[in-house]
């Protein structure tokens, strides 16, 4: 194209040269100025030089150019014609633009092909819609490349050590947390892995079952061992002589009968002689105090003599201790002691016959075998576990007579208010001919209450007891007559209804007990209940009820002496402690862990009792089973409190399993925090085993 342009310029020069030459000749002819070119030779030389150059172009350079151009524009005659050559030059210049367009389209196709993996970016390229925004986003992502490379490097390292964690991070399942939190989680996981390797392979639920089976096996084997040992000793000691002696002894007892016949004394002597040989044949003898004294008077010897209810045994029971090298005396000096009818000349008898006996003055009718044992024994063991009464009832006796050491272990909680008191403002002590002193208002209120109780479904199957605190009055007989008229003899028998004073109920119990105090503020004079015997009487009366105690009184505590036993009872009743059960069970939970467990139980329809109390112990949750057992659910938090606390928990669990009929299942807080369903799996298994159903099914 450049050569064509040069050829055009050359043709133009030729044409201009001819024009100049013609003009110059004309001027010479008319003698006009030549523009400074006055020297014809100079002027002719310039023209010749330019003409030579043009001729040289025409001869040497133009022909090959024509050949090349003919191939490009064969349809155009390339003769020396400035206009035609200019058109060819313009055409060739346009051809270059076509080439540029083709190159641009090729470049566009290349960009489109490169953008194919990214549809959104390719669409923006084709339509040029939001292309700038797309390019800006690409630029932003490109700037992230160093961080991405660092992430991939860290991810590759993490895959080797924690593939599951790395996979969750790569898929976005794991939340974005700080590096410090990752380090803490990593350290925690290392500790957890170590723990799992050391003790984590032991399933707590499986271990609990093994412990439970081991304890049951120990109890069974212990019982079998005791029985086998006893029979082994019998087999070793029972030779022909002792076997014959046992047969003679049983025959003699049968012939003694009630001991009222003319030959009873003779057969009693035969029985005693036979016992001398038969006593060593049996390792354990169980009989009443009077029978033991009667049968072992011949000089039998035992390793240990155990006397139960010794506080009710009078001084005439003392000889029962003589056959034993050691003695275990069981009793309660805070309950009613022995009652002997004669009191007159005892002190004279003591001075006459017990001059060389230590503490002879205490051998009186008011002293029990337990009292004598306490004076002689340096060691006393207080049995603190109490199973009969609900805690609110036994708390009165524990507080006032046992230094607060009684531990109530009654497991169930009847849906009855434990203690109720009714004040009879019209009550007065009056003498009823043929009956004695009574309080008619209290009797009427008490009989009316019993009538309502026997017709109340909440009391179905409950046994009843009625106590008159004034033994010398006719209140007990009067109330029994009224009760027969009100509910009938059949109901009395069905309820095992018993009416009497505190002495009548010594060693006995009932589900519901109603107490009448008899005395009133309207009495001319109220005798004080301040002696030890009166306090014992109140202690017995207040602790006979298992589920519910009713107090009917016509006197207020302020009308009695401060140390009056009745005043103590009435003051306690007015401030009886009650278990408060909030409307929201979650409010009784002590931690978020417990609340989460309660929520999962509630979702399945179960309504556990939070912070269930058995005596001085509490259980996190309790579910009652149809067979009377209780599923005790304990939430063991993550805080480690040492082996001493763990041993204490295990002792506590053993006690509750024994006295509370509880089946334990423990939930580990560390497992629950990671996998709640896995931690709750033993709970669901126990619920199924105990056949506990959701509420409403």
Q: What is the CATH number of domain 386-574?
A: 3.40.50.300
Instruction: List the domain boundaries for the chain.
Output: 2-80, 144-198, 386-574, 585-689
CB within 8 Å of 454: residues ≥ 6 apart: 487, 491, 495
Position 229 scores a pLDDT of 87
Against a cut of 0.75, is the pTM above it? no
CATH class of this structure's domain 585-689: alpha beta
- Across the chain, mean pLDDT equals 81
pLDDT in tens, 30-72: 554 444 444 555 555 666 676 666 666 666 777 777 777 776 6
Lowest mean pLDDT among 212-216, 341-345, 523-527: 341-345
Q: Are strands 617-624 and 630-636 parallel, antiparallel or unpaired?
A: antiparallel
Lowest mean pLDDT among 187-191, 433-437, 456-460, 576-580: 576-580
Q: From residue 282, give the alpha-carbon distance in Å to each of 98, 167, 229, 237, 395.
A: 130, 76, 12, 8, 42
Task: Find the mean pLDDT for residues 172-185.
Answer: 77
Q: Are 428 and 437 in contact (CB under 8 A)?
A: no
Neighbours of 142 (CB within 10 A): 9
Q: From residue 372, give the alpha-carbon distance in Å to each of 231, 323, 363.
A: 35, 17, 8
* CA dihedral for 340, 565, 473, 480, sign (positive or negative): negative
pLDDT band at 123 (very low <50, low <70, confident <90, very high): confident
Instruction: Give percent above pLDDT 70 in the chain.
Output: 83
Distance from C-alpha of 365 to C-alpha of 360, rounded to nearest angstrom:
12
pLDDT in tens, 632-679: 999 987 655 556 677 777 788 887 887 777 889 888 887 888 788 888
pLDDT band at 315 (very low <50, low <70, confident <90, very high): confident
Position 581 scores a pLDDT of 42
Q: Are 672 and 593 in contact (CB under 8 A)?
A: yes
* pLDDT over 50 at 432, yes or no: yes
Q: Which of 579, 589, 570, 576 is nearest to 614 (CA)?
A: 579
């Amino acid at each position: 194209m450049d050569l064509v342009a040069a050829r055009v310029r050359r043709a133009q020069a030729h044409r201009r040269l001819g024009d100049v030459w013609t003009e110059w000749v004309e001027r010479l002819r008319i003698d006009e100025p030549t523009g400074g070119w006055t020297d014809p030779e100079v002027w002719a030389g310039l023209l010749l030089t330019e003409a030579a150059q043009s001729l040289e172009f025409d001869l040497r350079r133009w022909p090959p150019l024509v050949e090349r151009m003919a191939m490009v524009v064969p349809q155009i005659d390339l003769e020396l014609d400035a206009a035609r050559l200019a058109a060819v030059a313009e055409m060739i210049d346009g051809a270059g633009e076509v080439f540029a367009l083709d190159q641009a389209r090729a470049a566009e196709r290349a960009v489109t092909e490169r953008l194919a993996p990214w549809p959104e970016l390719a669409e923006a390229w084709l339509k040029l819609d939001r292309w700038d925004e797309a390019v800006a986003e690409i630029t932003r992502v490109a700037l992230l490349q160093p961080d991405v490379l660092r992430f991939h490097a860290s991810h590759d390292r993490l895959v080797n050590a924690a593939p599951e964690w790395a996979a969750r991070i790569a898929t976005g399942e794991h939340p974005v947390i700080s590096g410090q939190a990752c380090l803490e989680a990593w350290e925690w996981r290392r500790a957890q892995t170590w723990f799992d390797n050391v003790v984590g392979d032991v399933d707590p639920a499986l271990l609990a079952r093994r412990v439970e089976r081991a304890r049951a096996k120990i109890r069974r084997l212990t019982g079998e061992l005791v029985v086998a040992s006893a029979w082994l000793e019998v087999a070793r000691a029972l030779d022909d002589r002792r076997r014959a002696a046992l047969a003679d002894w049983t025959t003699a007892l049968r012939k003694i009968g009630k001991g009222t016949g003319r030959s009873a004394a003779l057969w009693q002597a035969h029985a005693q002689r036979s016992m001398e040989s038969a006593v060593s044949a049996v390792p354990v003898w169980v009989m009443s105090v009077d029978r033991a004294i009667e049968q072992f008077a011949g000089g039998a010897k035992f390793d240990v003599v155990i006397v139960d209810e010794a506080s009710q045994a009078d001084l005439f029971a003392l000889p029962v201790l003589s056959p034993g090298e050691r003695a275990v005396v069981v009793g309660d000096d805070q309950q009613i002691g022995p009652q002997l009818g004669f009191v007159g000349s005892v002190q004279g008898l003591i001075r006459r016959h017990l001059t060389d006996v230590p503490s002879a003055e205490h051998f009186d009718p008011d002293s029990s075998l337990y009292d004598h044992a306490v004076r002689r024994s340096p060691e006393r063991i207080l049995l603190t576990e109490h199973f009969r009464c609900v805690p609110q009832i036994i708390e009165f006796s524990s507080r006032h007579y046992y230094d607060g050491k009684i531990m109530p272990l009654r497991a169930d909680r009847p849906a009855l208010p434990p203690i109720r008191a009714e004040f009879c403002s019209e009550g007065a002590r009056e003498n009823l001919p043929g009956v004695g002193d009574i309080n008619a208002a209290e009797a009427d209120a008490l009989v009316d209450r019993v009538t309502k109780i026997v017709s109340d479904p909440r009391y179905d199957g409950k046994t009843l007891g009625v106590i008159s605190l004034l033994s010398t009055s006719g209140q007990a007989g009067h109330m029994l007559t009224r009760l027969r008229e009100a509910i009938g003899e059949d109901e009395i028998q069905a309820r095992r209804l018993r009416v009497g004073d505190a002495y009548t109920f010594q060693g006995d119990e009932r589900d519901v007990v109603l107490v009448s105090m008899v005395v009133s503020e309207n009495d001319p004079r109220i005798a004080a209940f301040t002696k030890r015997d009166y306090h014992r009487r109140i202690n017995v009366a207040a602790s006979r009820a298992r589920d519910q105690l009713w107090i009917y009184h016509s006197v207020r505590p302020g009308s009695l002496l401060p140390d009056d036993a009745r005043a103590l009872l009435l003051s306690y009743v007015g401030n009886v402690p009650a278990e408060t059960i909030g409307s929201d069970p979650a409010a009784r939970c002590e931690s978020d862990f417990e609340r989460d467990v309660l929520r999962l139980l509630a979702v399945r329809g179960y309504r556990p009792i939070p912070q269930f109390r058995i005596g001085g112990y509490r259980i996190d949750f309790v579910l009652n089973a149809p067979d009377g057992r209780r599923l005790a659910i304990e939430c063991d938090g993550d805080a480690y409190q040492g082996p001493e606390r763990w041993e204490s928990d295990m002792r506590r669990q053993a006690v509750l399993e024994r006295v509370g009929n509880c089946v334990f299942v423990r939930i580990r807080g560390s497992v629950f925090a990671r996998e709640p369903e896995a931690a709750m799996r033993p709970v669901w298994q126990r619920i199924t085993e105990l056949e506990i159903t959701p509420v409403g099914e």
